[in-house]
Every structure is written in structure tokens, then in C-alpha cells.
Structure 1
Amino acid sequence: MGHRSRQARVADIRDIAMSMPHVTELPGSQGKPVFQVGGRSFVFFRNPRPDAVDPDTGERYPDVVVFWTPSEADKQALIQDDDLPFFTTPHFDGHLSVLLRASRVGELSLRELTEIIQDAWLSRASGARARNWLAAQGFDEST
């Protein structure tokens, strides 16, 4: 078994997203970054909204990051794993994405965060781009 990689940092989100091919970074509302592939968002930093609040204070979370997921099963696996800090809200019912507070990114390893962002990119990239990237990584399409 390999060792666990270092803890992830918020800055890693941008670094990993921008390391994927054909990615553009756009300023979202309030200047928060949105990462897109082919004009389709796959990771973005969200503005505080009434659906994601601190249960003790009622204050809106100011640091929510949205990550697309490949499927509803993947989404559920991430939010139901008690070892992972991902969550969702009723606003995201039926939306193939999970939420993560930036303040909790350090609960993930760099390897885990990389896999989440790569999966988000794959879920939003065109079929050709996804196949090309997977092939470049040594993944066989038949697997």
C-alpha cells in the first residue's frame, strides 16, 4: 500500500482544475472562480446561499465549493461516506454535484481531491476530450 499523500489545500483546487486539458477559469459572481471545460462548469466556488447554513448560528456558509459528479450513485457515495466532508442540500436534489466547505478541504488528501476534480472534469468534458485524456493516462476504454 502506498502512503497517504499530503493534506489538500484550497489553492490545490485551482491548480488541479487548471492542470486538466481545455480548462478555462472565469470569474463568477462576486469574483469567485468557475472552472469550465468546453463551456461547461465542473468546479466552482459558490456565493453564500440560504440553503447552506451553519446549523448552530444560522449563518450562511461563505466558502462552499461545488464539484460535479459522474452519476447519482457517485454523488451518494461521497455524501454518505462519513470519512469525507462532502454534503448536499435540498437545492441540489437531482443535480449531479456535491458540496464541500473550503474550510474542510484539509480533511481530504491531495490524492482524494485530485480524483474528485478529475472525475468532475470527466463528467463535463466532451466524449472525445474525456477519451483522449483517459488514453493519455493509460486507461483502456474497455475497462
Structure 2
Amino acid sequence: MPSWEDVRRIALALPEATERPSYDGLPAWRVRDKPFVWERPLRRADLDALGDAAPDGPLLGVRVADLGVKEALLADDPSVYLTTPHFDGYAAVLVRLDRINLPELTEVVTEAWYARAPKRLAAAHRADQEPTNA
């Protein structure tokens, strides 16, 4: 099971990523002051909406590129990805840290960064990640 330290390490390895508490004092990671992942425990309204289906482990809020990506993640693995009415119409999902593996966490955090990073910064990072032909 990945830890908050894993989230921190993955997020801060991305260009211009910073860590700053969110408005509620919990860890959040940003690129040029735009949050891309954050600690997001369930709130009373979330618990009321989810009822018995509410998970009790740690949750990571994750920005996604658009609502289509959100729906695809939710459909692909509902044991890992979930949402609440609070996120209706918002391109973000909640990720159960106790259910995701480290490679998938790395992918979802990196994709969240791409969703929020300025286009030039994201393009430069993609170019750096491409393998070179020797």
C-alpha cells in the first residue's frame, strides 16, 4: 500500500511541483499554484451521501484532464476510484491509497500534474521523458 510519503515523493519529482497545505491544513501538491493532488478525507456530507459504501482508509484527491477521464477511471476500477456529490461536474476523483498499487499511483499523480501544468511546461516534460534512439 502506498503511503503519503510515496505521494509526496512522486508529486515533488515533477517539474515545478510544490507542497503547500490546502485551505483545511492538509497536504496538497501544486504546479504553478494549481493543485493537482491533495489529501482529501471524507466530510460529513460525503459520508451521508455514500452511506455504507463510504471507505474508511486514506483518500487522495486527484485532478483529471476532463470529465471523460473521470468517468473512465470510475468505471475501470470502482474499488480504487470514487467520487462524491461534492465533485459532481468537477474533473477530479478520489483515490483509495489502500487499494492502489505504486505504479498506478505514479501514473495517476503524473497525469494529474499534466492536467494542471502549463502547456509549455508539460510539453517540455513529455519531451524529456521520451526515450532517445541511440
The TM-score bracket by the shorter chain reads 0.7 to 0.9
Q: For residue 28 of structure 1, report the CA deviation from its aligned partner.
A: 2.1
Can you list the C-alpha shifts for 1:85-114, whole angstroms capped at 9, x where unaligned? 1101111111000012xxx42322211000
The percentage of aligned residue pairs carrying the same residue is 33
Q: Residues 61, 8 of structure 1: CA spacing in aligned structure 2 closer, same or farther, 3 A cutoff?
A: closer
Partner residue of 2:71?
A: 76
| Alignment RMSD (CA, Å) | 2.4
Q: TM-score, normalised by structure 2?
A: 0.83
Q: 1:93 aligns with which of 88, 96, 103?
A: 88
Decide whether the 8 Å contact of 2:57 with 2:98 is kept in 1.
no
Asked if structure 2 preserves the Cα contact closer than 8 Å seen for 1:48 and 1:63, the reply is no
In structure 1, the partner of 2:109 is 117
Contact preservation (8 Å) 1:43, 1:68: yes
Aligned counterparts, 1:1-143, within 5 A: 7-53=1-47, 55-56=51-52, 63-82=58-77, 84-100=79-95, 104-138=96-130
Q: Which amino acid aligns with 1:44?
A: W
Q: TM-score w.r.t. structure 1 length? A: 0.78
Write the deviation string for residues 18-43 of structure 1: whole angstroms up to 9, x where unpaired.
11010110022443111100110000
User: Number of matched residues?
Assistant: 129
Distance 1:40 1:86 in 2: 22
Can you list the C-alpha shifts for 1:28-80, whole angstroms capped at 9, x where unaligned?
2443111100110000112542232262398x968432100012111111111
Q: Structure 1 residues 49, 93: closer, same or farther in 2, change over 3 A?
A: same
